Structure 1
C-alpha cells in the first residue's frame, strides 16, 4: 500500500499540468499520483498517458467522461490505494522539500501505529496578476509537529480557515464519512474539507509551505467576475454545507465553533458577491439565502448573525453594503485572494 495518494483533477489542463505533476516527482515510490482526465478535449489525455508510461510504478492515468472537479475527486478516491489522500489542482504545485518532509512524517505515523486523521500544512497564494505572494500558516493556533485534538486548537483567525490546500486526510476517514461531491459543480472543495471534520479525532500540523495556490488567471473559478457569474454554484455549495450537519448539536465546543465559523465564511462570500453584483435579482438571492439558513436552522442562523458579517447584514441599505464591501476589499489586498 502507498503512503500518500495525490489526485490531480485535469480538464483541458495541457498548458500547465506538467508543473503540477513534476512537483510530485521527489524520487519516492511511497507516493501514488492519480491524474484524472475529466473528459478533456485538448492534449491532457496524451500528457497523462505519457507520464504513466514513463513512471508506471508511480503514476496512473484515469480517463472519464466530464463530470466536473468534484466528480474527478470522487473518481480519484475510488481508485486510491494510499493510506492518506491529497488533492492537487492541475494549475497549482507543491514545494518538493516540504513534500519530502510531510511524506516522512506520514510514514513515521504508519510505522509507529499512530492513527492520524488529518495532517495540516501551510499554503501560499501565488497571485502573479498583482505580484502578491502570501503564505497562510497556522502556527499561532496549532501545536507544531505534535499530535493534537480539537480541544488543543487555539484561535483561528479569519485568514486561517482550514482549506483544501492545507489538508491531507486519512483515506479511510473520507470513505467513512460518506463524502460524495456533486457533479458539474464549482467550489466543491469546501464540501471536501467540511464534511469530514466531525470524524477527525487526531490532527498534526507541519509548518511548511507545501501547497502553492496559483491565482490570478482571468478564466479561473476564483476570479471575482467568474465567481459572480457562477454565484448560483456558490449558493448551492453553501446550502449543501448548511444541510450537511447541525453544528449546534456537536458536543466538542471548539469543533462546533470552527464549523460555525466556516459557515460564516461561506455566507460571507456569497453575500459579498451578490452585493457587488448589486442587481435586484442578486439582492433577492441574498435575501433568499439568509432566509434559507433561518428556515433550516433557527439556532444556527442566530449564531451566524452574531458574527461581524451577521451584524452588518442587519444594517439596512447603503451603509451596511459599504461596510461589508470595504472589509472585503481590505482582505483582498492583505491576503491576495481572487
Structure 2
C-alpha cells in the first residue's frame, strides 16, 4: 500500500492537492470561457433571427405594417411569431452545437429521471414559493432606482386585445422560456459546472442566469430563482421540476398582467395576494416534506481547502467569455434605466 499523504487522489497520488487545484482552476476557466461565449452567442442569435425574419418578409414582398406602434413594422401576430421563433431557435441551437462540439450526450446533460409525483410536486411548490419571495428584494431594487429618479419599469412586450396576440404572448412568456432557458442554464451550464462541485454549479449557473436578464431588477429576481431551480435539478437529477417552476412563475406573471389590463389594479392586487398566499402555504408544506423525506436535500458540498468557492467564482469570470458576459450585463442594465 502506498503511504504517501496524497494517496487518496488515486493515480495522481504523487501530485500535491494544491497542484491539482491549480489544474482544476485552469480547466474551469477554459470551460467557463466556452460556456460564456455560447451564452452570448445564444443571445445574439435570438435577436439576429428576428432580423432574418424581416429580411425574408421583405424578400417575399412584405412592406411592413405600422398601424400598431411598438411592433417594429410587423403585424402583432407576425411580431410574436418572429420573436417566438427567435427565442426558440436562437437559444437552443448554440446549446446543441456546444453539446456536439464537446461530445456530450443529451441524455447526460439533460436529465429527466423519474422522481416520483410527491417529490416533484414538493420541489415545484417550494421553488415557486421561493420565486414569490424573490419579488421582495427585486421590488427593493425598483425602489432604489426610483430614489435616483428612474422609473424602475421593466422591458416588456407590446400588446393588443386580439385573442391570437394574447395567446402568442402567453406562449412567448410562459411556454418557450421554461423550455429553452432550462435547456441553456440548468442543462448546458449547470451540467458543465457540476464536476467542480454541485454547490458551485448551483451558484455559478444562478449568477449567469441573473446576468443574462440584463437589468438590475430581474438580475436579483433571476439569481434567487436560478438558485432554487438549479438546486432541484441537482437533487432530483431531472429538469422537469425546474421547467415546471419556471412555467408556474411565468404563468402567474402573465395572469396578473392580464388581470390588471382587463380588471384593473385593485383586482390584480387581490389576485396577486391570493396566489402568493396560496403558494407560500404550499411552499412551507413542501419544505417540511423535503426536510423529512430527504435530509440531504439542502446539504452542501464538502469544503475544498485548496479550491474554495471564491476561487471557483473568480475562475468562472476571469476569462475572455466571462468578462464579456459581465460587460454585457452592466451595459445592458444601464441602458434599461429610464
TM-score range, shorter chain: under 0.3
TM-score, with structure 2 as normaliser? 0.27
**Structure with greater contact order relative to length (CA < 8 Å, sep ≥ 6):** 2
Instruction: Give the number of the structure whose residues are more often strand, by fraction.
Output: 1
Instruction: Give the number of the structure whose residues are more often helix, by fraction.
Output: 2
Which one has the largest radius of gyration? Answer: 2
TM-score, with structure 1 as normaliser? 0.27
